Amino acid sequence: MKFLQYAVQDHLAYITLNRPEKSNALCYELVSELRVAFKKAEEDNTVKIIILKANGDAFCAGADLNYLQELQTNSFEQNLADSDHLKALFLQICELRKVVISQVHAHALAGGCGLATVCDFTFAAPEANFGYTEVRIGFVPAIVMVFLLRKIGESKAKQLLLGGSVITAAQAFSMGLIHFISEKQKLEHEVRRFANQLIENNSAYAMGVTKQMIAKVQSLPIEEALSFASEMNAKSRGSDDCRKGIRAFLKKEKINWKT
């Protein structure tokens, strides 16, 4: 891959943005590589958790402005296809059967902020900044808006999307935009430790189904949501992991789901 590094170690898939000279700004090729990498990690049975990180002085500066300028000569249909490409990536992460953790060591802005916060968990260094700055350049934070509203609610989303301001990691944490703050030199260790806790303590099958249900039930009317939930409840009872978990619970045995 040209703009990414991909590695698997100890049941963890590391997807690393590697376009540091452009602050890991998003372009069509980088989004394409991300979609391929996430699909590869999802289909790898040895991978339990996916970690998204970045090389360089920024996590991701959002869309490559030179690329956006080139798109201004495109037709509406061409621009729609390009927008759908990014939409597909965000939806893929949201609906992925595996937990995705973003490891944000430095600033994550606009689409880069969306990329980090559409993940299931976000760890950030104290010096990392976050913001949806699109309105400052006459652009619209359209795709990320859908996910942000679901994540932090309308009032806080308006503050970020309409204000266009850049906030600190501490402010992002207080708004519910990120989940954990860790010193930069300890960030990778803390992410790995948390990921390993999930792997050892929780069923990968159960986490995957739960994550996909969270993504789906919010868009359903309550009766449909409950019917879907009842169906998934019944299916999960027949799973190998559920049988294994109940058997161990009744025998008072501790399960290490990593094995």
Question: Is 134 tagged catalytic?
Answer: yes
Interstrand relation of 129-131 and 121-124 (parallel, antiparallel or unpaired)? unpaired
Q: Which helix (H) or strand (E) holds 122?
A: strand 121-124
Q: What is the dihedral sign for C-alpha 117, 178, 166, 55?
A: negative
Longest dimension (CA), the chain: 67
| CA distances, 190 to each of 69, 149, 168, 185, 214 (Å) | 39, 28, 20, 10, 25
Strand ordering across the sheet containing 121-124: 4-9, 12-17, 49-54, 99-104, 121-124, 180-181
User: Whole-angstrom Cα distance, residue 198 to residue 130?
Assistant: 26
Burial of residue 219 (number of CB atoms within 10 Å: 0-12, 13-18, 19+): exposed
Identified catalytic residue from 21, 33, 127, 134:
134
Q: Please, which residues bridge with residue 124 across strands?
A: 104, 181
CA dist 189 to 170, 194, 249, Å? Answer: 20, 9, 31
* Catalytic positions, written as ranges: 134
